[in-house]
Structure formats: structure tokens, C-alpha cells
Chain A
Amino acid sequence: DAGVIQSPRHEVTEMGQEVTLRCKPISGHDYLFWYRQTMMRGLELLIYFNNNVPIDDSGMPEDRFSAKMPNASFSTLKIQPSEPRDSAVYFCASSLAGDTEAFFGQGTRLTVV
């Protein structure tokens, strides 16, 4: 397996635009996590799914953020409208089960200008 695949690797967008980040988890993994990492706040859990169902979205900062997992092999994180304070590295991770290691993607570096 190629691991967790995220796209794009880098995204630069203007304030107010819609941004969609994509993630393909490792095949067979039941859990999918979305994190945001900044120098100030570290690695924050935004939302996670179990078997494609959102379990906890309490980390989603605002209604501007939404995440979906339409099937076991694909998830999106959408920001609409984007703001400069959303600039960060966004990571997707998946794990086989609840008590196993999480595998992270390479991340998407988002810059909102």
C-alpha cells in the first residue's frame, strides 16, 4: 500500500475562496483522522471517522469547516470561506482499529492570503 495519500501538497488561495483538501486512507483502515498543525497550537484534532461515520467533530473550529467521508477510500475537508488564520498544515491519518498506530499522510500546506 502507498500509505495515506493527501492532495494537494501545497495550496495557496485568496481569502474568501473555497478550499478542498483530499485524503485517501490506507485500504482496510476503519478510522480516519483530520488534524491541523501550527506553531502556536501544535497538532489539533479536527474530526475523526469510524467506518465512514463522523464520531467527534468537536475540534472543528467553525461552521466554515466541514468534512465528509462518502466511502471507505476517500475523505474531504472543506473550508468555505477561507481566512488567513486558516493557514496551517493539515494532516490526514488512518488506523486499522481503535488500539493501533495511526499512519499519517504527508500533509497539505495551506496558505490563505
Chain B
Amino acid sequence: SQKIEQNSEALNIQEGKTATLTCNYTNYSPAYLQWYRQDPGRGPVFLLLIRENEKEKRKERLKVTFDTTLKQSLFHITASQPADSATYLCAVQAAGNKLTFGGGTRVLVKP
């Protein structure tokens, strides 16, 4: 069956350190993979999109990698700040542009 797995345990990290989140998928052949941020009581907000032929994408302090052989994407927040505390969701975009989300990983950045 198809699965998109993210670490369900919260990630606690000290301010200034790099947070690394993992997204593994099974039985998908995604053309794109997206990462979103969700704050409590709000809808998800888009952060980055990476295509299957791209290995890495960056946006300010964020970096995403996409390994189609490992069927995995890594999401990095460098120089993390307390304002980065949120839940981060990966989403796989496969045939027909169907956008399916993983369970999300909560990140807590401590000052």
C-alpha cells in the first residue's frame, strides 16, 4: 500500500542548531515533493517544492533534498529560531497531480 511516513515524535532542538526532518514514501513515483508548515489552528502554508530531477532546493534558511532511489526527502532548517516552532508536513505529488500528505513532524525550538 502507499505510505508517506514522517517521524511522529516531536523534534526538540536548541536555538541556532540545524533541524533535520525526514519524509519517506512507499509505492509512489512522485513527480514533485512539497513541504509545508502548519501552526496550531491554521491551514498549512507552502514552503518549498522540489522536482524529481532536482537533488536539492534552498530558500533562505531552508534546504530540501530529494532522493528518488532511497524514496526519501530531507528537510533542513539551519540556524533555527523559536519562531520556527511548528508542524512540518511533506506532501507527495504523483500522477494526476494528486497531493497527498504525510503525518507531519512537530518541531520545538528552545531559546
Interface on A for B, CB 8 Å cutoff? 4, 31, 33, 35, 42-43, 45, 48, 50, 55-56, 91, 93, 95, 97-107
- A95: min CB distance to chain B, Å: 8
What is the count of residue pairs linking A and B with beta-carbon distances less than 8 angstroms? 60
Contacts of A55 in B (CB 8 A): 96, 98
In whole angstroms, how far apart are the Cα atoms of A95 and B96 in the complex?
13
Bound complex: CA A104 to CA B31 (Å): 21
Q: Quick one: which of B13-63 are within 8 Å of A by CB?
A: 31-32, 34, 42-46, 49, 51
Interface pairs (28), CB distance under 8 Å? A4-B43, A31-B97, A42-B104, A43-B44, A43-B89, A45-B98, A45-B99, A45-B100, A48-B97, A50-B97, A55-B98, A56-B96, A56-B98, A93-B43, A97-B97, A98-B93, A99-B32, A99-B49, A99-B97, A101-B34, A102-B34, A102-B91, A102-B99, A103-B46, A104-B43, A105-B43, A107-B42, A107-B43
